[in-house]
Amino acid sequence: MTLNERRCRHEAAITAARLMMTAARTAPKAKGVDIIEILTIEGDDLIALSKQMHNYGEQTSRPSFIRDARNVEQSECVVLIGTRPNPMGLNCGYCGHPTCESKPCGEPCAFNSIDVGIAVGSACATAADCRVDTRVMYSAGLAAQMMGMTKDCRQVVAILVSVSSKSPYFDRPVIK
């Protein structure tokens, strides 16, 4: 049997995405509380995400969303990592409010945001180990959140994954 790399790129990207999701899941969480949601989208869901980003960019006059939508289209898949709002009860004031109880309902705890960042970092480190190209995007995460792709998540970050001879995320047009 002969395997041609060009014919198994997508499978390689999905394998890397699975490993990235595992890395995000096992990343440290504040107080050991796991409120992270992680999923990978591909195919029709990837196209729908790109369209949502493009439409949002046009409706809000934000050309960076349109540019980023093109990168989503060029990706094999997208890993989404988000968090459900869940105050940690530390009353630390790190979110800008003196107590967890004084924080407006639905506003993420600062530690929820940190948990997402650590999970994204772990996922990207794993992607680097797999030698796939990635790009972290808040824009794609926001669009996924607007589409309801990530159950009950308030903050979502997207990691685009590509397997090609040149990263589509490198020479991106400057948006003004």
Mean pLDDT for 56-80 is 97
Q: What is the pLDDT of residue 86?
A: 85
Helices (H) and strands (E) in the chain, counts: 5, 4
Q: What is the sign, positive or negative, of the torsion defined by CA atoms of 55, 56, 58, 59?
A: positive
Q: What is the sign, positive or negative, of the torsion defined by CA atoms of 6, 81, 146, 175?
A: negative
Other beta carbons within 10 angstroms of residue 120's beta carbon come to: 23
Give the DSSP letter of residue 76. Answer: S
pTM of the model: 0.93
18, pLDDT greater than 90:
yes
Q: What is the pLDDT of residue 29?
A: 92
Domains and CATH numbers, the chain: 16-162 (3.40.109.10)
Which candidate, 3, 17, 156, places its Cα nearest to that of 81? 156
The first and second tokens of residue 15, run together, are 């394998």
Beta-bridged to residue 134, according to DSSP, are 161
Residue 72: CB partners within 8 Å, gap ≥ 6?
46, 49, 50, 53, 78, 140, 158, 160
pLDDT one-digit tens code per residue, 96-131:
999 988 988 878 889 999 999 999 999 999 999 999
SS3 56: helix
Q: What is the pLDDT of residue 107?
A: 81
Chain-centre distance for alpha carbon 115: 13
Ramachandran quadrant class, 117 (left: phi over 0; alpha: psi -120 to 50; beta: rest): alpha
